A and B are shown apart, each in its own frame.
Chain A
Amino acid sequence: MSILDRFVSGWREFRKDGYYEEFDYAWTMTIDLDRCTGCGACVTACQAENNIPIVGESAIDKGREMQWIRIERYWEGEYPNAKLNFIPMLCQQCDAAPCETVCPVTATYHNQDGLNAQVYNRCIGTRSCAVYCPYTVRYFNFTDHHWDAPLEQQLNPDVTVREKGVMEKCTFCVQRIRQAKDHAKDDGRRRVRDGEVQPACVQSCPSEAMIFGDRKDASSRVSKSMNDERAYRVLGELNTRPSVIYLKKVDADAD
């Protein structure tokens, strides 16, 4: 093919409807707000799995906490009819991610699993992705971090320890997904089975509020869960097409 033909066919490929949605997998998570108790097990599990640094009190005082998944709390009403709602907020792995368009060096991109991947060693630290993210789920390493010995013995060797100047965020425990895919390949299977891979948060949640899986597999738990009548997306009106779907809390006294 001539260069022009190659260009035209490549262009046509790229501009095809649904190109961006032809993933190998489409990892999705549903979080049932009627089951979430706000206990924070997911937060600590994530910290343990992903070598999240302990930033210390003064850093948190400045507003520099490091929690790839955080529990947000919203009060409603006043005493004695006050209600508190919890919502775990993590990177929504948006299919139309605002953060991906703005990184000047493509340190964040959409990978073939439908995940929004962050490449630490490409990041030059412009922090525009954090500005563009409407969910504020991207966290920047404002300093190098330090673990008092021997706490660093606990660090997970499958996950990079990030240096200062680099942006990080939830990856849906991509190291676990990689491993599961490798195992599937070793076993001669083409696909990862439903439930075979769970991010640390999903695995730890004591009330089983989180379900994780591949929405391309119509029989997976997550496919059923995301089509529940209670399903919605946070800030869905922004059309970022998140892969994290929340199930509405049930207000039993509402009707």
Chain B
Amino acid sequence: MANVDRREFLRLVGAGGVGAGAGFMLAESIKHPVEYLIPYPVPPEEFSPGIATWYNSVCGMCPAGCGISVRTREGRAKKIEGNPLHPVNQGRLCALGQAGLQVLYNPDRLTGPMIQNGERGDDAFVKATWEDGLSRTAERLAAARRDGIYVLSQGVRGHLANLFELFMGELGSDRLLHYDFAHPHPLYAANKRFFGEHQLPYYDIRNTRYLLSFGADYLTNWLSPVHHSLGFGHSRQGNDSSSNDGVRGRFVQIEPRMSISGAAADEWIPARPGTEGFLALGIAHHIVADGRYAGDDASLWRTALAGWSSGRVAGLTGVSEGTISRLAREFARAEPGLAIGGGAAGNHTNGVDTLVAVNALNYLVGNIGKAGGVVFNPDPVTGGSAIDRQANYRTMQNLIENARDGNIDVLIVNNTNPAFTLPRASGFREALAAIPTIVSLSSFMDETTLMADVLLPSHTYLEAWGDDMPQPGVGFPVGAISQPVVAPLYNSRSTGDIILGLVGKLGFNEAIPWTSMEDFLKDGWREIYERGSREPGDFDSFWRDVLVSGVWGENARRGGSVVIAPGVIEGMAVSAPRFSGESGEYPFILHAYLSTAMYDGRGANLPWMQELPDPMTSIVYGTWVEMNPATANEMGLADGDLVRVTSEKGSIEAPVVLFPAIMPDVVAMPIGQGHDALGRYARNRGANPIEILAPETESASGNLATSATRVALVATGRRAAPVKTGGESRQLGRGIVQSTGSRSAPAGHSAKLNSIPIIVESAVVESA
């Protein structure tokens, strides 16, 4: 080695040092910035660091009203579970319910009152104080005509519904509307017509042996999906020999496009859209004609159903005669069988007729009031008037006309988004322009809120006091209190407190003396407490018990015999469905359906829901058009081709997805994407099929017939393959999902082909 002199040496060391220094700097710049953990100098009372605190509340993600238990750590909500004590969901929870945390912690929440500083519809809001916002609103309300005050809210129940009524009463306006896109108007109307019932009954899927579902996607979002899933699971494999004779429930789904309820069913029967009612009558005809109905009014029924022979029905529906008579036979023999309807079947122009026919089936097999059948609900303990406030499409059309005619002075919107969930043809967005004052209480900047002048954002359900009585009920009165699980994140207020704030500003304090929603709620529950004629002084521990358990109930069932409304049997008929558009020009019927993740569009700003693969197609983050593969082949369309879907009222673009279980002349699109507001995860993604729906309505209920739009598909020549998590969705004989014959059948060859015995050591189990 050559001698290294001192100068060399220092040079080398220096170079090394510089190198090390540079390396260190590089490493530091790549590392994350330093963060510090400092304990509270004065810790709050409510929590111990490291120990979770659980709060019971009510889920606010859909109208089912499941009870939830929220795990919080250090004042932050970490996980939502189902409340095991709540009879609706019994400890279980759906994906959308889990995503409530992302509603609470959403980056695009409105953080405080805002006032529009530009033109209506601009995103030029400036921050304001509550004082300012409330005063402004109160001013406009005071100055408005009585009939010119409209309140358009999402469906609210319980005491908040009462508060709204009181408020409207003081305002002197009757224009309180609850608008939910997915509200089952036809079901209510059919129930009213057939039974004279105001409330929806409880459909006891759990104990049924045969479920005949006409379009009702009961596992996704028909009425109460978690409860129905529980029922489904139990009916399938929860029965041991001690209950229900160990018989496995059979599920039949009648719909033009297979939903997950259709996938779970033992039989999926595609019937022509809008003919489900005919099919129901055809089955009813068979039940009566085969002598399986022995009621007093049998001859009435026979006359009424005479024209619905299976030959005629087969021709109308496309379902074979053999199937119709078989369904009738199986359904009647099931004891009990249960027929339900809704979804696509209810949303036709003959939807109410269809659901009345479905009710007829239940009546004919005698399951009314019985386990496994249709059980009537008592009225909810409070907030029951809310049902009458549900606005159907006809009501909304009235609102739009009134707006156009200048009859509306003030519109208050509470967490509902008709700008997204009404078809463009309704003219809702344009009508808003004619309303001088729009105030929005929504927590998010959705399409409707974007059109407001004053924003008074409400708390999310996890931060607010409220309560809920689930609709439909579970056969007996149930109520649950929704309590804040975390301190409010932002400068929002609960909807009730906002109303009470306006009450204060408008001077309605005499009639509405409460200053906070919590007080109002407590007073309301005092009344419920006193129903049970308990000691008046013990309310506080009652209140505590209800909050700790998360649910309250009464053992009060509806008694009485089944009476159907007069004239129903004679008037039993299903009119032919109407569609917008001629079949020549618009060859396909559009089946727009709700998904668990998106629901009516509210899931689009929740990243978990955007990332949840669609159960049937595994697609994420987009909208698509499902087509029958044979039809697509004929049209020369491949999976991923972008097509333009055109109705008489508009057009949207979406990629084609080949879907094996859809009728050849039906195309299906999921609802929920296609937002132009509602935050970064929702904006400018996909397309909204509601936009292009034609404003066909069902005459009896005024319901929007969402399944009555015909469309044409035109290839655009571009490709936009949807993003899927799934690869090849055929098993190729690999035995991944294995099935076996029915449980009661004797095992032919061993069902344990792939079993490798695991040594099960029996340990002594200590009894605690």
Direct contact of A and B (CB under 8 A): yes
In the complex, per-residue mask of A177-195: 1 if CB is within 8 Å of any chain B CB, else 0: 0000000000101110110
Q: A55-B611, A215-B760 are in contact. Are A39 and B751 (CB under 8 A)?
A: no
Contact code string B247-282 (vs A, CB < 8 Å = 1, else 0): 010100000001011011011101000000000000
B95: chain A residues within 8 A (beta carbon): 39-41, 43-45
Q: Could you say which residues of chain B place their CB within 8 Å of the CB of A67?
A: 613, 725
Q: Which residues of A contact B79 (CB under 8 A)?
A: 48-49, 156, 200
A174 within 8 A of B: no
Check if B758 sits within 8 Å of A241, measured CB to CB: yes
Complex Cα spacing A147 to B710, Å: 42
Contact of B107 among A35, A151, A157, A231 (CB under 8 A): A151
Q: For the complex formed, measure the closest distance between the CB of A248 and the CB atoms of chain B, giving whole angstroms.
A: 4
Q: Within the complex, which residue of B102, B741, B762 is in contact with A251, where a contact is CB–CB below 8 Å?
A: B741
A223 in contact with B760 (CB, 8 Å): yes
Contact A151 B233 (CB under 8 A): no
Q: B residues within 8 A CB of A154?
A: 76-78, 101-102, 104-105
A124-183: which have CB < 8 Å to B?
148-151, 153-157
Give the B interface residue count (CB, 8 A). Answer: 104
Q: Say whether B608 contacts A39, CB under 8 Å.
A: no
Q: In the complex the two chains form, is A249's CB within 8 Å of B613's CB?
A: no
Task: Verify A70–B736 contact, CB threshold 8 A.
Answer: no
Contact at B752–A43, with CB atoms within 8 Å?
no
Q: A148-B107, A206-B93, A206-B230 are in contact. Are A248 and B740 (CB under 8 A)?
A: yes
Residues of B within 8 A of A239 (CB): 756
Q: For B620, what are the chain A residues with a Cβ–Cβ distance below 8 Å? A: 57, 60, 65
- CB within 8 Å for A218 and B82 given contacts A54-B611, A193-B768: no
Looking at the complex, which one of A74, A218, A229, A230 makes contact with B762 (CB distance below 8 Å)? Answer: A218
Does B120 reach chain A (CB closer than 8 Å)?
no
The B contact surface, by secondary structure, is loop
A166 to B233, CA, bound (A): 37
Interface string of A182-221 (1 = CB under 8 A from B): 0000010111011000001001111111000001111100
Nearest chain A CB to B248 CB, angstrom units: 6
Which candidate, B156-164, B656-664, B701-709, is the interface stretch facing chain A? B656-664
Residues of B within 8 A of A5 (CB): none
User: Of residues 264 to 315 in B, which have CB atoms within 8 Å of A's CB atoms?
Assistant: 264, 266-268, 270
Whether A73 and B266, one on each chain, are in contact in the complex, defined by CB atoms closer than 8 angstroms, is no
Q: Does A29 contact B (CB under 8 A)?
A: no
Residue numbers in B under 8 Å from A189 (CB-CB): 766, 768
Instruction: Note all chain A residues with C-beta closer than 8 A to B730.
Output: 74-76
Chain A CB within 8 A of B578 CB:
no
Q: Which of B229, B729, B751 contacts A37 (CB 8 A)?
A: B229
Known: A40-B596, A239-B756. A72 touches B258 (CB 8 A): no
Q: Is B236 an interface residue when CB atoms closer than 8 A count as contact? A: yes
Q: A84-B616, A156-B79, A249-B739 are in contact. Are A45 and B611 (CB under 8 A)?
A: no
CA distance A79 to B628 in the complex (A): 8
Task: Scan residues 84-107 of chain B and give those whose CB is less than 8 A from a CB of chain A.
Answer: 89, 91-95, 97-99, 101-102, 104-107
CA distance A254 to B267 in the complex (A): 12
Query: Chain B contacts of A40 at CB under 8 A?
Result: 95, 596-597, 612-613, 615
Interface of A is mostly: loop
Those of B660-698 within 8 Å (CB) of chain A? 660-664, 680
Q: Please determine whether A41 and B751 come into contact, CB atoms closer than 8 angstroms.
A: no
* Cβ contacts under 8 Å, A97 to chain B: none
The number of chain A residues with a CB under 8 A from chain B is: 93
Q: Which chain A residues (210-255) contact chain B, with CB distance < 8 Å?
A: 215-219, 223, 229-237, 239, 241, 246-255
- Measured CB to CB, the closest approach of chain B to A87, in angstroms, equals 5
Question: Known contacts being A39-B596, A74-B736, is A204 close to B263, with CB within 8 Å?
Answer: no
Residue of A nearest to B597 (CB): A40
B621-A60 in contact (CB<8A): yes
Q: State which of A35, A48, A248 has its C-beta within 8 Å of the C-beta of B738.
A: A248
Chain A binder among B219-227, B384-392, B565-573: B219-227
A233 near B754: Cβ-Cβ < 8 Å: yes
When distances are taken between beta carbons in the complex, the residues of chain A under 8 Å from B563 are none
Chain B's closest residue to A135 (CB) is: B736
B733-768 contact mask (Cβ, 8 Å, vs A): 1 or 0: 010111111110101000111111011111101101
- Known contacts A77-B660, A151-B105, A223-B760, A82 near B258 by CB under 8 Å: yes
Give the distance in Å from the alpha carbon of A83 to the alpha carbon of B629 in the complex: 15
Asked whether A78 is an interface residue with its Cβ less than 8 Å from the other chain, the reply is yes
In the complex with contacts A79-B662, A190-B766, A86-B263 CB distance below 8 A: yes
A contact residues around B629 at 8 Å (CB) = 78-79
**Best-surrounded residue of A21, A49, A154 (most CB of chain B within 10 A):** A154
- A54 to B714 Cα, complex, angstroms: 35
Known: A233-B755, A234-B736. A41 touches B260 (CB 8 A): no
> Within the complex, what minimum Cβ distance (angstroms) separates B661 from chain A?
4
Q: Tell whether, in the assembled complex, residue A32 and residue B237 are in contact, meaning their CB atoms are under 8 Å apart.
A: yes
Could you tell me if B248 and A252 are in contact, using CB atoms closer than 8 angstroms?
yes
A95 CB within 8 Å of chain B: yes
- B232 contacts A37, CB within 8 Å? yes
**Shortest Cβ distance from A114 into chain B, in angstroms?**
10
The chain A residue sitting closest to B748, CB to CB, is: A255
Tell whether A156 pairs with B758 under 8 Å between CB atoms, given A75-B729, A230-B740: no
CA distance A83 to B731 in the complex (A): 12
Q: Are A191 and B725 in contact (CB under 8 A)?
A: no
CA distance A74 to B735 in the complex (A): 11
A96 CB, nearest partner CB in chain B, Å = 9
Residues in A neighbouring B99, C-beta threshold 8 A? 44, 48
B73 within 8 A of A: yes
Q: Please determine whether B98 and A191 come into contact, CB atoms closer than 8 angstroms.
A: no
Contacts A150-B105, A206-B225, A223-B760 known; 7 new A-B pairs at CB < 8 A:
A41-B98, A44-B609, A75-B661, A83-B263, A85-B737, A208-B230, A216-B762
24 CB contacts below 8 A, A to B, read A34-B237, A34-B248, A35-B237, A37-B232, A40-B613, A55-B611, A57-B620, A57-B622, A70-B725, A75-B729, A78-B660, A79-B628, A150-B105, A154-B101, A200-B79, A204-B92, A208-B238, A215-B760, A247-B237, A248-B740, A249-B740, A253-B266, A254-B742, A255-B741
- Closest 6 pairs (CB-CB, A-B): A236-B754, A206-B229, A207-B233, A82-B660, A44-B95, A84-B263
